[in-house]
Homo-oligomer: A and B are copies of this chain.
Amino acid sequence: MMTNSNWQKKRVTIKDIARAADVDPSTVTRALQDSPRVKPATRAKIAALASEMGYVPNMAARTLVNRRSGLVGVVIPDLTNPFFRDLAKGIEDEAAKHDFRTVVNDTRGVESAEREAVNLFLELKVDGLIVPMARCTEAYYEQLNATVPVVHVNRDDTPHHVSCDTVEGSVLIMRHLFELGHERIGFVRGPAGPGREPKMYAYRRSLEERGIDYDPDLIFTFDGTLESSARIVEQLLALDAMPTAVFAHNDVNAIAMIHALRVRGVEVPKDISIAGHDDIQLAGCVDPPLTTVQWPMYELGQQSVRYLYALGHGQTPREAQLPPPKLIVRESTGSPA
């Protein structure tokens, strides 16, 4: 923005304060850092001057000399999802406890954006990186990991990660559907990415344990858009026999599907049960209120910072202990007709 405009001249540096206080710049530094090695009177004078003159520390200079920025970079695929927002909040709060500040980037699930975000953070010399549900390849992060500590959240094929038992949450949903009497259960996958598709894994394993055959016709794919949810509903309706229940990729997908179903005259849960995932804010106040799984995202965020911190200190952190996911039973699921 500014190249040669009037904004530049205002910048107050430590030198300006030093001149005003008639001391050496290094004394100002010490005073501003509350070092005991400075006379209280001097400290007070300098503090007063600093705020009076509107001094703002220059992070660039600090980072340069300290060789650390005090920043943690967070790369999030979709901040619109309250799920991730809680995670971000947990990260922020915990980072603050360790005197780190947080820089967040929403990549909107785009892989190139993820790379760019990581790049920016690298240039900013962040002291650590937290990357939930990364889209880039394992190899990419493996390499990155040599440069800066990286912690993944809910992605278990990378060197360092913090996850809650992703499979467990999905198992809860499946078990709930079984208990209601469902046997023919559809599943909506998320946008294909790297990693192990734990929901899919849980889906298949649950069926297996229940002695139900896996039917590829009952698998659909959600790409994050509303249209894709509508398409899935079309596919559902085109089936010879609809499943009696569907485990949706997430709540947004579930809500959109319920709507599309209603438009076509299919009622939830009377004609078909739909379970979501994430427990977003609106999940409880749509019609019907959504049965879904709640994650301890805030805690996950905290844990990931602790893990990162340990990593940065050369320790090999122990596995994080996390509260388990929680099944929230509402009204979008019921017994099959």
Contacts and interface: CB of A to CB of B under 8 A. Distances in A.
B5 A312 contact: yes
Nearest to A314: B5
B7 A286 contact: no
A56, A72, A79, A81 — which one has the most chain B CB atoms within 10 A of its CB? A79
B10 A146 contact: yes
A51 interface: no
A226 interface: yes
Given A1-B149, A58-B125, A80-B79, A252 B226 contact: no
Given A80-B79, A104-B106, A287-B262, A59 B255 contact: no
Interface residues of A, number: 71
B108 A89 contact: yes
B60 A69 contact: yes
A21 interface: no
Contacts of A337: none
In the complex, the count of this chain's copies comes to 2
Interface string A69-89: 100100000011110010011
A134 to B, nearest CB: 18
Interface of A: 1-8, 10, 54, 56-64, 67-69, 72, 79-82, 85, 88-89, 100-101, 103-106, 108, 119-120, 122-125, 127-128, 146-149, 226, 229, 252, 255-256, 258-260, 262, 281-282, 284-287, 289, 308-309, 311-314
- Pick the 10 closest A-B CB pairs, nearest first: A1-B312, A259-B285, A60-B63, A1-B128, A1-B127, A79-B79, A59-B123, A5-B314, A60-B60, A2-B312
